[in-house]
Structures are given as structure tokens and as C-alpha cells.
Amino acid sequence: MFRPVSQSTQKEDLVTCRLGEVHRPAAPCTIVIFGASGDLTARKLVPALYHLHKEQQMPPDFRIIGFARREKTDASWRQELREALDQFSRTKPVDDVVWRDFSQHLLYCQGDLTDSAAYQKLQKQISDFPDPGLQQNLLFYLAISPSQFADVVARLAEARLLHRETQAGWERIVIEKPFGHDLESARRLNQELTRFANEQQVFRIDHYLGKETVQNILMFRFSNAIFERLWTRDSIDHVQITVSEKVGVGQRGGYYEEAGALRDMVQNHMLQVLSLVAMEPPVSLDAECIRNEKVKLMQSIRRLNPEDVSHQVVRGQYFAGMSEGQPQPGYRQETKVKSDSNVETYVALKLFIDNWRWSGVPFYLRTGKCLPMSASEVRIQFRPTPHVLFAAECGQRLDQNALALRLQPDEGISLRFNGKVPGTSVEVRPVRMHFSYNAEFGAYTPEAYERLLLEAMVGDATLFIRRDEVEIAWQIVDSIRHAWEGKALSNREFYAAGTWGPVAADDLLGQAGHTWREPMRVNSYSASAK
């Protein structure tokens, strides 16, 4: 995931992913998208595949088959996708020449997900392709409801499109979160999937891991000795991970009533980021080496009993307020939300990692809807210096050093330290050195789905979630959910839309003398700012 994709290497086998080595290019393959009429296909998947084709990173020959129950022709489906691409492409206008070439690879297969005959029709369509690679290398993308995953996989196996052991080529399944709704359902789903496919064939996608700066957490940590040597309990006071969203739940009220912020964000995105920030160095950049270290880290997170939850976890729910000068309804007034709902739209928690590196260092995680800004950031707060030299002159202005990794938007890294204000007095003020990806590298970074689809085609599972990762994350989250059962929200757990969350979240950090730090407010950094 950290290597450029080479189109010229002639290696036939996927190489071990070590620094300086590269992938072989993706082999000719067929991509089947189940849920071809859905929003994900139009907004993310096809635009991502179009941009990969534009950047000449798709295989030399490929087919993309859309599978859905609505009656369409190849031409009508292509027209729908072109209209969606005009709206959702990250580069505008769409290149007509590139689109004409790309669209010739788009085909449609009409069928119901529960109809075995439709899978036979799909199998016939694939077997008629002239290139053996298009017949044997198959990527099935399940952009459908999770409740349908197991049935679709079973029917693919019945139609002999999916085999646990393939004699020629490869067959892979890509599934979207949520991977179950609790530990029991996640285990059941994993068991059902692996009846017909082995674990190496299942690619569980979390688009958050496809973001450039999320991936670069490891590169930043392990390629810079000046920071890696500080990445321990000896230098770090605490860590804050913030994923804030400015918008409310909007039309997703029905989904949010079932999920809540804990399931929607903490169980996947936030624990994944935490594992990358805190994991031990892998022996190589091989997918399994990295995923092994992530699993070890997650196993080291101290489990929470009901008493721990009451002191270390805060939930919240927004009520009506103002967001950027505009009125915002409360969660209970949103569409498809119960008028007395106790579902959390905000979660803050304090976790401890019981290993040698992080013993005693609190990790604070928070995420919520209707907060003042949309941003994702990791903040490493270093231990304070002894105040014996500057305490009298500077007092509270002598701030702790901090390193902020801005994941989105305006991706970058910021180092905060104390500097002397020019003049005759001994006045110290916190200052910041900022690195901006856009200013330094200029080029627009690829969308997460572009990278993830390419990795799935070449068979690199580094950015995908393994079965044991999913189940460990659910163990952590389920202990919190069970402690909340039957308990109503308190007054200190409500917060006005457009604010940074409930008072109880401030109390959570105040127990240890800490305070939440707002994410960096970065608009843009031009090349001249370097």
C-alpha cells in the first residue's frame, strides 16, 4: 500500500511488500458489482474505476458487470453512470475520450439476488469472454445490504463462480461494513462467508483505511527516527483521536436508530486508526505482518466492565441548535427517529493499552454528529516540561508540545512547540510548524475507493480488515453497549447542535487534568507557504 504501482514489472507472483518493492500490475479480471443500481455504485465505485482507468492503473483488459434486478440494457446503464460521473467525478469535466473507452468495458446483467437462474446467466456471460483471465479472475463487490451477503455468496458458489480452492486464477469477495451488529452476528456472518470462501478471499472494506493520510501514519512513524523514539509512555502524556461531523443524521435516521455512533464509527474507523497509531513495528510491510500487529494492539486494549464504562465512556445526543448560522433540528426531530430515542449521536471514551510501550497512557476517542466542523485528527500530546525555568514568567502560556496528524480535510501534519516572542521580555508563546500534503506534493491524492479497489484486484489485503480484527473490535464495543442497556440519557449528555459535545465529555478528560483540543482549523496551504 505504500509503494507506487508499477505497470512495467514482469514478476508473475505478488512480491513481499517491503520498502523499495512494488506490486505487479493487476491481471485481466472481471469485476461484478452486486447492487449496480445503488447509490454506492454511482457515487463511489464506478467513478473510482473510471479514474483508475484514466491513470492507466486498471488491468490491460477488464470487464465490469453490474448486477441488479431492474431491467436495463448495457447502453442505458452506461448512460446512467455517465450522468453520475458528471456529478461525482473528482476531476471535471469528464474526459470524453477516456469515458468512451472505459464505457465499452461496462456490461449489465439483470437478475434478482435470490434467483439461482440469474447467477447461471451471470456465469454464462462471464464464460463467453474471450480472455481466460476475464473468466478466471473474478472480483465480486457486494454493494448490498449486509443481510444479503451470505445468500449471495452461497449462490455464487452454487453457480460455480466461487470456489474455496481455485485451480486457475483467483476469486475474491469485497464486502462493505457493517460486519454484523454485535459480536455474535459478526461471528455468524464470518462463519457463513467462510463456508464458501477461505479467509484470504474475503476483503472487508473500511473506506477510512484507503485515505492517504491514514496509511501514512505508519510511514510517518517508522521512517522518522526523531518521532519513533518519542512514541512511548516516557514522552507522551496522552493521545486524542477526533472524528467530527458537522452534519446531522439527515435522511439516515432509520439507520442511525439501529446503529448509533458507537457502532457506526467507533467499532470500525476509530479503532482502526487507534491500532495504526499505537501498534508495534511490523517485520515487513507484508499485509499479514501489518494486520498481525494491529490485532496484537487491539488485544492489548483493556476491556471495560460496567463500572469502567460509567467512568470512561460518555454518550451524547444533539438537540436543536444553530450550525453555521442555520437552525438545525434536534436528533429526536429527524426523520424516522423516535421522539424519546436514547440513541447516541456522540461518543467519547478513554481507553488504556496494557503493553510495555503504552502502559498508563490514556487514549481519548471522540466522534459525533452536528459538531462545529468536519475533521479527522490524531493529536499526540507530549508530557509537559518541568516549569522550574519559565513558570514565573510564562505560567499557563508554556503549553505542552503536540503533534497533530490531520487526516481530513486539508491533510497534513502539524508540530506545536513553544517559541520566544521577539523583544526584551521573556515571553513564550506556542507556535506551529505545518506540513501540508497539497502544498508539498501538489497532486490531488486518490480517493479511498480508488486505492482499495486496486488493492483488491492485485490481492493486497493490507488495507482490509481481517476476521479476528472485526471480532475483537466487537468485543470492545459490546461491553459498552451492554452497560448502556436500559439507561436513559442524562441532562449532562445532551448537547446543542453546533457545539463540541456534552458537558460530560469535558468531565471525562477533566478527571486527569486534560482538556479536549479542537482540530486544526486549516483552510489551505499554497506552495508558497512551504
Does the domain made of 29-176 have the CATH classification 3.30.1360.20? no
Pairing of the two strands 29-34 and 62-68: parallel
Nearest CA to 319 out of 366, 368, 270 is that of 368
* Cell of residue 30, nine digits: 472481471
Interatomic CA distance for residues 402 and 517, integer angstroms? 10
The backbone torsions φ and ψ at residue 172, rounded to the nearest 5 degrees and listed phi first, read -135, 150
For the chain, how big is the Rg over CA atoms in Å?
Answer: 24
Q: Degrees (nearest 5) of the Cα angle 249, 265, 494?
A: 55
At position 149, the amino acid (one-letter code) is F
Question: In this structure, is the dihedral angle defined by the CA atoms of residues 97, 102, 107 and 112, taken in order, positive or negative?
Answer: negative
What is the predicted pLDDT for the residue at 213? 67
Note whether 86 and 38 are within 8 A (CB).
no
Candidates 269, 434, 482, 514; catalytic one: 269
Chain center to CA of 202: 17
Nearest CA to 405 out of 262, 206, 210, 211 is that of 211
Location of C-alpha cell 466542523: 373
Nearest CA to 140 out of 128, 149, 132, 131 is that of 149
Please list the pLDDT of the chain residue by residue as tens digits (530 residues).
Answer: 434 333 333 333 433 343 334 456 789 999 999 999 989 999 999 999 999 999 999 999 999 999 999 999 999 999 999 999 999 988 889 899 999 999 999 999 999 999 999 999 999 999 999 899 999 999 999 999 888 999 999 999 999 999 988 778 999 999 988 888 999 999 999 999 999 999 999 999 887 777 776 778 888 888 888 888 899 999 999 999 999 999 998 888 888 888 899 999 999 899 999 999 999 999 988 889 999 999 999 999 999 999 999 999 999 999 999 887 889 999 999 989 999 999 999 999 999 999 999 999 999 999 999 999 999 999 999 998 776 566 555 555 567 889 999 888 888 888 888 777 787 777 777 778 888 777 777 655 677 889 899 999 999 888 899 999 999 999 999 999 999 998 999 999 999 999 999 999 999 999 898 999 988 765 544 333 33
Q: Degrees (nearest 5) of the Cα angle 218, 221, 226?
A: 165
Distances (CA, A) of 363 to 266, 277, 514: 13, 10, 11
| Core vs surface per residue 210-225: b (16+ CB within 10 A) or e | bbbbbbbbbebbbeee
Note whether 338 and 332 are within 8 A (CB).
yes
Name, in order, each residue with C-beta under 8 angstroms of 70's C-beta and a sequence gap of 6 or more: 37, 110
What is the predicted pLDDT for the residue at 522? 58
What angle do helix axes 271-278 and 287-300 make, rounded to 10 degrees? Answer: 100
Nearest CA to 469 out of 238, 324, 279 is that of 279
pTM: 0.87
Name, in order, each residue with C-beta under 8 angstroms of 472's C-beta and a sequence gap of 6 or more: 295, 298, 299
What is the predicted pLDDT for the residue at 23? 54
CB atoms within 10 A of CB 25: 20
What is the predicted pLDDT for the residue at 444? 56
Note whether 195 and 152 are within 8 A (CB).
no
> Which residues in the chain are classed under CATH 3.30.360.10?
210-512
What is the predicted pLDDT for the residue at 293? 94
State yes or no: is 269 an active-site residue: yes
Interatomic CA distance for residues 65 and 252, integer angstroms? 29
> Which residues in the chain are classed under CATH 3.40.50.720?
29-176
- The CATH superfamily assigned to 210-512 is Dihydrodipicolinate Reductase; domain 2 (3.30.360.10)
Note whether 31 and 62 are within 8 A (CB).
yes
Interatomic CA distance for residues 176 and 154, integer angstroms? 17
